[in-house]
Structure 1
Amino acid sequence: MSDDDRPINPDGSLPSLPPPLPPPRGGCATAFMVLFGLTLLLPGLCALLFGFGVLSESRSDPSILFLILLGLAVCFAGVMLIRAAIKGSS
């Protein structure tokens, strides 16, 4: 058999094959990713609760605002971890 129907690169060589796909992730790893992501959502919930309390005061401390932003960033990481776990399992 010949490979006449395969395209050839401009330099005359045959095109390389794409790399093989990695093996699918197991259900246990997906479950741990979702559980850890849910755990990371808790600092974000606390940041929202304390953030509303701090913003309702007339005087706010910049260090508290930094901690609130840090909690929201951790919450965002949890959301992205859950998203990656769900997207990778399908």
Structure 2
Amino acid sequence: MSETNPPPVPPAPTQSPGTDLPPPLPPRRGGCATAFMALFGLFLLLPGLCALLFGFGGLTESRPDPSVFFLILLGLAVCFAGVMLVRAAIKGS
């Protein structure tokens, strides 16, 4: 009734030589999408330029309006998005 021999241990699985390969690269983005990203990114840089111009003008006033500073920060945020979009277009996927 009682067994003195334990059941045999199955052998450890061996790795096949093809499992060490890195995962495949994602498909490349087309040239039209890259050009569109770069152009739209450059278009988004314009609000940042206006924000800088109005920001310097707002700092020279004796009583600056707080709502203008909010619009300046919004323009700089849009400009940052444009910089990131141009960077992504140049860098690729």
**Is the shorter-chain TM-score for this pair beyond 0.5, marking a shared fold?**
yes
**Residue 21 of structure 1 is aligned with which of 13, 19, 25?**
25
Q: If the length of structure 2 is used for normalisation, what is the TM-score?
A: 0.76
- Tell me, yes or no, if structure 1 residue 32 matches structure 2 residue 36: yes
**Residue 56 of structure 1 is aligned with which of 60, 63, 81?**
60
Matched residues in 2 for 1:12 and 1:39: separation?
57
Q: Which 10-residue stretch deviates more, 12-21 or 47-56? A: 12-21
Matched residues in 2 for 1:50 and 1:27: separation?
36
Corresponding residue for residue 6 of structure 2: none
Percent of aligned positions with the same letter in both sequences? 81
Q: Which has the larger radius of gyration?
A: 2
**Which sections of structure 2, spanning at least 5 residues, go unmatched?**
1-11
CA RMSD of aligned residues (A): 1.8
**1:20 CA displacement:** 1.9
Matched residues in 2 for 1:82 and 1:16: separation?
35
Matched residues in 1 for 2:29 and 2:63: separation?
49
1:58 maps to amino acid: S
**1:12 CA displacement:** 4.7
Matched residues in 2 for 1:13 and 1:73: separation?
53
Q: If the length of structure 1 is used for normalisation, what is the TM-score?
A: 0.78
- In the alignment of these two chains, the number of paired residues is 79
**Which sections of structure 1, spanning at least 5 residues, go unmatched?**
1-10
